[in-house]
Structure formats: structure tokens, C-alpha cells
Amino acid sequence: MLSSAAYAVLWPLTVIRITLAIGLMRIASSIPILKERIKRYNEKFLLVPYEDFWQSWCSWKMLRGVMQLTLGDLNKTARLGSPAPDCELVSTDQKECRLLDLARGERPLNDFTKVVRDFADVADFKVIYISEAHPSDGWKWNNNVEIAQHKCLKDRFAAAEILKSSGCPAPVIVDTMKNEASMAYGAWPERLFIIQQGKIVYEGGTGPYNYDLTEVQRWLEEYKAEII
């Protein structure tokens, strides 16, 4: 987490930088040849057709969302090589737990689901459900699951159940309404971490643009080769 003095200097500069960047992107998006390139680039990273996100592209809601993402990253306490924050969570059967309680021995704890089946023999995988990235009452995308921003823990449980029913291969744990895990790990809208023996051994970038699934896979491949 930044000191008060560093925050006072960096945050206004960051707001100006983000506002200018989104303003320039909005101007560029009005130029046909650049518009098509921007659409293709974002489809690659967002993995959805441009029709789903273009309506809100460079909007005030997008600006607020990018600022929320950046603020979360600046204020997070989870850092590579540092002790992992042991945040309060709740299981979907409404039992309170702590993040580090979910790890077993020296096995890495990771919240990535795509590689679960390949590495379940050497790592524990968990998905922590946090606040919505694109709620129906906020920065909404088209053709998305209609979920309003959670007003209470019951809402978050209901949203987590939708994820579970979609076939998520990893256990889903819910962040509390204090959003302790989301803030400590700068996790909004999505982020990957690997925790081993209470220490952060891999810290991914914020999604979607810096959400690199191959990095997690490489780390686990190297770890598995070491212990087998």
C-alpha cells in the first residue's frame, strides 16, 4: 500500500493520465481505420465480439471502472515475495474461513481454473468471487449474464452459484461485503495469484489486458518438474 504522501502525488497524476488516455482513445475510435484496429485488438483480449462492449467503450462508466482498477492496484497490500494477506472469506455454504486455511501444506494455492485438471495433483485451486466487473446496473456489457452489483452477501452468494452452475472446475469462495480480499490483492476485475507456505510466489497483472494464463501454466510446470 502507498504511503499517504506518495498517494497524494501519484493519484492525481494517475487520474489525469487515465482521463487523457481514454479521451484520446475516444477520438481515435471516431476515425474509421483506427476504429477497426481498436475493435480487433480489444476482441483479442476481451474474448467477446465488439458488439458486446463497444456501446460503453470510452464512456464515463468505463472511465470510472479503469480508475477503480488502477486505485485497487495502487492500494493493494499483496506483493510478490511478501506474506500473503490472510483475508476473511465465506464459503458458498455460508461458513466463514480465511484464505490461507484453504492451502494444504507446501502445495501452491492458485485461483486459476483452466489448468486445474492438469495440476490438481500438485496445487490447490480456488476462485474468489468478488464484486461484479460489469453489473447490469453499472458498466454493463451486452450479452452478459444479468447480475446487479451485490448489495449484500446474499446477492454475492447467488452470483457465485451462477458461476458454479456454469461448470467452474475449482471451488468457489466468496469475498465478504467488506471486500477485504479484493482490496488486499487488487483483484478487481480479475487477477491471478499463487500462494505457497503463506507467501506470494506469483503475482499476475490485472485483467483483462494483463491477465496472462500462460505465465501461471509455466510456473506450475516448473514447480511440478522440481518435485516429481
Residue with cell string 502507498: 2
Cβ atoms of 86 and 100 within 8 Å: the answer is: yes
- β-bridge mates for residue 182, sequence order: none
Closest by CA to 114, choosing from 191, 65, 169, 184, is 169
* Rounded Cα gap, residues 160 and 156, in angstroms: 6
The pTM for the full model equals 0.86
pLDDT computed for residue 1 by the predictor: 61
Q: What distance in Å separates the CA atoms of residue 212 and residue 10, rounded to the nearest whole number?
A: 26
pLDDT at 115: 82
pLDDT tens readout for residues 148-168:
999 999 999 999 999 999 888
Query: Which tens digit of pLDDT belongs to each residue from 104-144?
Result: 888 887 666 668 889 999 999 999 999 999 999 999 889 88
